[in-house]
């Protein structure tokens, strides 16, 4: 049990597999006496599921660590900027019902000071300049800024298939990853219960010291071989289907700065703007809506936002899913990453970030030899069970305060469907605003600021002032500076379309190495 960990075998491609291959290979010490090797086995018959994805700002650091230039990424992945999400119709469904969850944190004031002078209007616009930038479809950065730097915090919208291709090319041509297009036909177990090797149809036996299961919902290793079960979360998150469609756009049309999530009677619709198209999908719960009703809902949305498009000419693709995650993510020498680890409805773009966080945790605590692996696995499993629970709680928060009146939304407000931890926090937040003290880990998936944006966007009234005096006497001045910054950035930043069109026309002028 003291064997050095040197051979990494990744089973499955897609975003999860190729991100894993790139991150591990880029972090490996090429000058080591016995360097790491990374082999990725990808079935030639399994397409990438991605329908157009949103990422968190963490992706900037991920791409930089891999060594991919930002301008190259934007062009290759048909990508644009994402500065947060906008939620339309989630509170009441009436005209004007809309709020922002921006990526930039509120002004540097205490939670109580942020609320002291706010009673109406947009909470996000009260404490952050970013909603004003998003409303004008502006980019978060100037082309002359260094790669991955911005005037505001940002992630990306991207084409998942094109992104996986960029990662594959980077892994194989620059980072030395061995790529096998082959079918896994069997799994060979070692005496200690580890996976010793996988058998493939044409490449034979592929041995390894650590195996990453990136086989998606099939979960060939963690589920098929080890039989690790899943924890069903559909008693909390009801959605289990989506109809996705790609809508072409004109080359001069505005590109949204945020994901737009529009509520409907039995779910919600995502709208993601890319330079060449919009990725749109109707998420719904089959227990509250028929497939035909969901198609009618999506068609009505398309007719409203793109009247020039004939929905009958578009192809709707149905996706079926279940909100669930593994009981354990790391078993013996097998770690599940991506859809093999779990999936929750894509309301806050948590799919790709869980891949990034999993890889961060693996590389931060990489087992030097087999004797340490079980300890690393226990720590990883405890951390990610906590993180999945917190993601479930945060997604449920979007529903729990809604005033919409349909069976679906009433069921979401049923106290029996609200996790106990969230139930207690909601009771606490009626008396005081969310603060860092409410979250136990130093690196929370969703910090207190994210909860503030959703709570007050959904109409929870600010709590009455407490008996303690304000922490700062310059609160009004700080919040006025937020408004001044919004005006200055609105006047100086290019639109997303201007930025991305210039990138396409003259890449040499704006690309930075």
Contact 397, 348 (CB under 8 A): no
In the annotated binding site for L-tryptophan, the residues are 348
Give the angle subtended at the CA of 160 by the CAs of 155 and 164, to the nearest 5°. Answer: 105
CA-closest candidate to residue 157, choices 280, 48, 67: 280
What pLDDT sits at residue 33? 86
Q: Which CA distances in Å does 265 have to 92, 260, 322, 345?
A: 11, 17, 20, 17
What pLDDT sits at residue 31? 87
Contact 299, 311 (CB under 8 A): yes
CA-closest candidate to residue 13, choices 481, 344, 340, 462: 340
Contact 23, 355 (CB under 8 A): no
Does any domain span residue 467? no
DSSP E strands: which ranges in 15-125? 37-42, 53-54, 80-82, 84-88, 98-102
Count the neighbouring beta carbons within 10 Å of the beta carbon of residue 67. Answer: 11
Cα 342 from chain centroid (whole Å): 13
What CATH number does the domain containing 208 carry? 3.50.50.60
What pLDDT sits at residue 420? 97
Residue 467, pLDDT > 70, answer: yes
Residue 229, pLDDT > 90, answer: yes
Does any domain span residue 378? yes
Does any domain span residue 115? no
What pLDDT sits at residue 116? 83
Does any domain span residue 487? no
pLDDT in tens, 327-341: 999 999 999 999 999
What pLDDT sits at residue 442? 73
What pLDDT sits at residue 512? 41
Q: Distance between CA 337 and CA 513 in Å, rounded?
A: 30
pLDDT in tens, 358-416: 999 999 999 989 999 999 999 999 999 999 999 999 999 999 999 999 999 999 999 99
What pLDDT sits at residue 175? 98
Does any domain span residue 148? no
**66-80, 109-123, 285-299: which has the minimum mean pLDDT?**
109-123
What pLDDT sits at residue 156? 98
Q: Is residue 130 helix, strand or coil? A: helix
pLDDT in tens, 191-219: 999 999 999 999 999 999 999 999 999 99
What pLDDT sits at residue 309? 87
Model confidence at 51, pLDDT cuts 50, 70, 90, reads low
Query: What is the 3-state composition of the chain as percent helix, strand, coil, each rounded to the nearest 5?
Result: 40, 20, 40
Residue 95, pLDDT > 90, answer: yes
Does any domain span residue 442? no
In which domain, by residue range, is 11 found? 7-52+159-232+324-389
Mean pLDDT value of segment 433-454? 91
Q: How many domains does the chain have?
A: 1
Does any domain span residue 399? no
Model confidence at 30, pLDDT cuts 50, 70, 90, reads confident
In the annotated binding site for FAD, the residues are 13-16, 184, 339, 352
Model confidence at 509, pLDDT cuts 50, 70, 90, reads very low
pLDDT in tens, 153-203: 999 999 999 999 999 999 999 999 999 999 999 999 999 999 999 999 999
Does any domain span residue 38? yes
What pLDDT sits at residue 32? 87
DSSP assignment string, 398-444 = HHHT----SHHHHHHH-GGGS-HHHHHHHHHHTTS---GGG--SSS-
In the annotated binding site for 7-chloro-L-tryptophan, the residues are 82
Give the whole-number percent of the chain exceeding pLDDT 90: 85
pLDDT in tens, 243-260: 999 999 998 999 999 999
Model confidence at 311, pLDDT cuts 50, 70, 90, reads confident
pLDDT in tens, 64-75: 999 999 999 999
Query: What residues are labeled active site?
Result: 82
Model confidence at 49, pLDDT cuts 50, 70, 90, reads low
Model confidence at 510, pLDDT cuts 50, 70, 90, reads very low
Residue 513, pLDDT > 70, answer: no
Mean pLDDT value of segment 311-323? 90
What pLDDT sits at residue 385? 97
Q: What is the mean pLDDT of the chain?
A: 94
């Amino acid at each position: 049990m003291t064997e050095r960990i040197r051979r990494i075998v990744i089973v499955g491609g897609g975003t999860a597999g190729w991100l894993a291959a790139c991150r591990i290979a880029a972090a490996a010490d090429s000058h080591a006496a016995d360097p790491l090797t990374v082999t990725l086995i990808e079935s030639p018959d399994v397409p990438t599921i991605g329908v157009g994805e949103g990422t968190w700002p963490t992706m900037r650091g991920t791409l930089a660590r891999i060594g991919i230039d930002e301008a190259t990424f934007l062009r290759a992945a048909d990508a644009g900027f994402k500065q947060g999400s906008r939620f339309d119709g989630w509170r009441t469904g009436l005209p004007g019902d809309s709020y922002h969850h921006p990526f930039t944190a509120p002004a540097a004031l205490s939670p109580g000071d942020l609320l002291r002078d706010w009673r109406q209007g947009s909470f996000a616009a009260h404490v952050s300049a970013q909603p004003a930038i998003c409303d004008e479809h502006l980019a978060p950065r100037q082309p002359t800024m260094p790669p991955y730097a911005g005037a505001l915090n940002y992630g990306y919208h991207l084409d998942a298939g094109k992104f996986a291709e960029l990662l594959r090319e980077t892994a194989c041509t620059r980072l030395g990853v061995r790529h096998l297009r082959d079918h896994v036909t069997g799994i060979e177990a070692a005496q200690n219960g580890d996976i010793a090797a996988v058998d493939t149809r044409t490449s034979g036996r592929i041995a390894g010291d650590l195996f990453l299961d990136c086989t998606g919902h099939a979960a060939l290793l963690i589920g098929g071989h080890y039989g690790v079960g899943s924890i069903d979360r559909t008693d909390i998150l009801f959605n289990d289907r989506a109809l996705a469609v790609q809508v072409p756009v004109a080359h001069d049309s505005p590109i949204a700065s945020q994901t737009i999530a529009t509520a409907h009677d039995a779910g919600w619709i995502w709208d993601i703007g890319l330079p060449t198209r919009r990725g749109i999908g109707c998420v719904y719960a089959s227990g509250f809506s028929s497939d035909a009703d969901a198609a009618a809902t999506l068609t009505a949305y398309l007719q409203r936002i793109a009247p020039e498009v004939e929905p009958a000419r578009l192809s709707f693709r149905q996706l079926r899913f279940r909100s669930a995650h593994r009981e354990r993510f790391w078993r013996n020498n097998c770690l599940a990453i991506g859809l093999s680890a779990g999936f929750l409805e894509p309301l806050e773009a948590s799919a790709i970030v869980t891949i990034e966080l999993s890889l961060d945790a693996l590389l931060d605590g990489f087992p030097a030899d087999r004797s340490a692996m079980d300890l690393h696995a226990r720590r990883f499993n405890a951390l990610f069970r906590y993180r999945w629970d917190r993601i479930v709680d945060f997604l449920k928060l979007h529903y729990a305060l809604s005033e919409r009146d349909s069976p679906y939304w009433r069921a979401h407000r049923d106290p029996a469907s609200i996790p106990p931890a969230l139930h207690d926090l909601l009771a606490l937040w009626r008396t005081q605003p969310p603060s860092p003290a409410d979250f136990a880990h130093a690196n929370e998936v969703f910090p207190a600021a994210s909860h503030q944006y959703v709570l007050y966007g959904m109409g929870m009234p600010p709590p009455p002032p407490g008996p303690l005096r304000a922490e700062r006497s310059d609160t009004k001045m700080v919040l006025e500076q937020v408004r001044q910054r919004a005006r200055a950035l609105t006047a100086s930043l290019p639109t997303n379309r201007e930025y991305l069109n210039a990138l396409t026309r003259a890449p040499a002028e704006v690309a930075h190495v």
